[in-house]
Amino acid sequence: MPGSQNFDDNFLREMNARQLWHPMAHPAESRANLPVILTSGQGVRVTDIDGNEVVDAVGGLWNVNLGYSSEPVKQAIADQLAALPYANIFRGVSNDKIIRLAHETVDFFAPDGMARAFFTSGGSDSVETALRLARQYHKVNGAPSRTKFLSLKKGYHGTHFGGASVNGNANFRTQYEPLMAGCFHIPAPYSYRNPFNETDPAALAASCIAALEDEIRFQGASTIAAFIMEPVLGAGGVIPPHHSFMPMVREVCDRHGILLIADEVITGFGRTGAWSGSRLWGVKPDMMCIAKAITSGYFPLGATMINERIADAFEADSSGTAAIGHGYTYSGHPVGAAAALAALAETRRLDVVSNAAARGTQLFDGMLSLAAHYPVVGDVRGGHGLMAAFELVRDREAKTPIDGKLAVKMQKSAYAAGALIRVSGPNVILSPSLIIEEADIDIILGALEAGLKAIS
Ligand SMILES: Cc1ncc(COP(=O)(O)O)c(C=O)c1O
């Protein structure tokens, strides 16, 4: 209840930035501006310390796909805590839940060609695992010179050194350089801004592919291990490529013996209106990185999924090269596995993918109409399920990005109007739970309008 715990609440407000450093924020900025302090969540709503209840238009962080009230997932976690709260699965040990989860995830991603699962503690771990296994695959396969990685500018692949090295956004790189050697980036199929000055998505996709071919020629195909991409770029500002893009990437990779890693940390499990981003584009990658919605965010867990070709090479090796010298303390966490088993069952039972497609269209259409009235919106991106973004500009003609402070002002006004939204640089990023209903999308759109009014 608001005001009923003044002493505790004031302690939390006072102490937040004194002892806690926030990811992806300047510590001084966090000290100067009090964040929203959440205390509970129910359905698609979260409640803060002052008792304000708002629709969570961020869906946790692209992960709480089932909303905050999935009793089967909560129960599965509680039951597993009672039965076996932890177990490792390093050489010689396994557990019932992780074996079942491997079976379920392989089944879930079988249409994408996946055949094996390697579990991790989250998305960054899944990316790291995929990059390492890609190099190892080529060593196992007699091509040890294939060590380099290619990726997209604007792409986001988490924050480990490997992932940060293939990341395509200076914000996540500059202060941590030097990053890993041997990582090269090609222009993203981002039609609002690109070096080709190309606004037509199909033509832009072709230009980006030409740049990819050029980079491969320059580096030498025999030095490249893998190309990693998000099927729809998420954290970089929701950039859906033209539908021709990922199939062309697959074709180029195949022609040059380069593995294709799909980073599906956001796009896995229905967010795009298809069960995976690769399926959305009709592509079968060699590996997939998954995390986030695998437990609906209720427990930190991820996985690297591996196709038959890679599995065969590793499993047929008799030289020892294929021994996996990689893994995490939590690679077989039974509580995470139990959470994921329940979340997967709920994800299928609720057919969240259909709702993501329908509500995603409603959200995107609503955002397009808002953009028509507010010139501060430079670009609206989305149209594939429940991931959408506004890119805000000071001047539509010149596409000058707005001051980050204005984006924060928009976030505050939207919150007051009933929705928690996310701002990242000049982008407003939306990724609500996949169980969201029509009326809640209307609340988000109303809150976005309040936010746009406040900065127009
Ligand atoms: C595409 C992608 N890959 C990797 C990651 C990193 O995941 P985590 O934050 O769980 O380490 C993220 C996180 O947002 C992501 O969006």
pLDDT digits (tens, 9 = 90+) for 50-104: 999 999 999 999 999 999 999 999 999 999 999 999 999 999 999 999 999 999 9
17 in any annotated domain: no
Same domain, 344 and 355: no
**How far apart are the CA of 248 and the centre of ligand 1, in A?**
24
Q: How far apart are CA 424 and CA 93, in angstroms?
A: 43
15 in any annotated domain: no
pLDDT digits (tens, 9 = 90+) for 163-209: 999 999 999 999 999 999 999 999 999 999 999 999 999 999 999 99
Boundary of a domain, candidates 332, 349, 366: 349
**How far apart are the CA of 154 and the centre of ligand 1, in A?**
13
**Is 128 close to ligand 1, i.e. is its CB under 6 Å away?**
no
**How far apart are the CA of 151 and the centre of ligand 1, in A?**
15
8 in any annotated domain: no
Question: How much is the average pLDDT of 336-352?
Answer: 98
Same domain, 159 and 181: yes
Boundary of a domain, candidates 324, 349, 374: 349
Among 129-138, 185-194, 399-408, 415-424, the least confident range: 399-408
pLDDT at residue 5 tops 90: no
Atom of ligand 1 nearest to the CA of 234: 16
Atom of ligand 1 nearest to the CA of 235: 16
340 within 8 A of 63, measured Cβ to Cβ: no
433 in any annotated domain: yes
From the number of C-beta atoms within 10 Å of its C-beta (0-12, 13-18, 19+), residue 196 rates as middle
428 within 8 A of 421, measured Cβ to Cβ: yes
Domain count across the chain: 2
**Is 294 close to ligand 1, i.e. is its CB under 6 Å away?**
no
Categorize the per-residue pLDDT at 317 as very low, low, confident or very high, splitting at 50, 70 and 90. very high
Categorize the per-residue pLDDT at 9 as very low, low, confident or very high, splitting at 50, 70 and 90. confident
Half-sphere exposure of residue 271: CA atoms within 13 angstroms, side-chain side: 34
Categorize the per-residue pLDDT at 8 as very low, low, confident or very high, splitting at 50, 70 and 90. confident
pLDDT digits (tens, 9 = 90+) for 137-173: 999 999 999 999 999 999 999 999 999 999 999 999 9
pLDDT digits (tens, 9 = 90+) for 385-400: 999 999 999 999 999 9
Same domain, 313 and 166: yes
126 within 8 A of 289, measured Cβ to Cβ: yes
Give φ, ψ of 273 to 5 degrees.
90, 0
Instruction: List the residue whose alpha carbon is closest to atom 10 of ligand 1.
Output: 123
Ligand 1 binding pocket mutation candidate from 120, 127, 299 (most atoms within 8 A of CB)? 127
Q: Please report the pLDDT score of residue 440 as a whole number.
A: 98
Same domain, 309 and 437: no
91 in any annotated domain: yes
Distances (CA, A) of 313 to 104, 139, 153, 320, 347: 23, 10, 31, 12, 32
Distances (CA, A) of 293 to 2, 44, 275: 31, 14, 12
Q: Please report the pLDDT score of residue 6 as a whole number.
A: 56
At 302, which helix (H) or strand (E)?
strand 302-307
Q: Please report the pLDDT score of residue 319 as a whole number.
A: 98
**Is 60 close to ligand 1, i.e. is its CB under 6 Å away?**
no
- Assign residue 415 the CATH number of its domain: 3.90.1150.10
Boundary of a domain, candidates 322, 349, 376: 349
Same domain, 370 and 386: yes
**Is 431 close to ligand 1, i.e. is its CB under 6 Å away?**
no
pLDDT digits (tens, 9 = 90+) for 207-266: 999 999 999 999 999 999 999 999 999 999 999 999 999 999 999 999 999 999 999 999
What residues make up the domain containing 208? 72-349
Radius of gyration of the chain (CA): 22
Q: How far apart are CA 26 and CA 414, in angstroms?
A: 22
Ligand 1 binding pocket mutation candidate from 120, 151, 156 (most atoms within 8 A of CB)? 156
Same domain, 341 and 368: no
**DSSP assigned state of 438:** H
Contacts of 318 (CB under 8 A, 6+ apart): none
- Assign residue 324 the CATH number of its domain: 3.40.640.10
Q: Please report the pLDDT score of residue 4 as a whole number.
A: 47
Same domain, 125 and 181: yes
Q: Please report the pLDDT score of residue 18 as a whole number.
A: 87
9 in any annotated domain: no
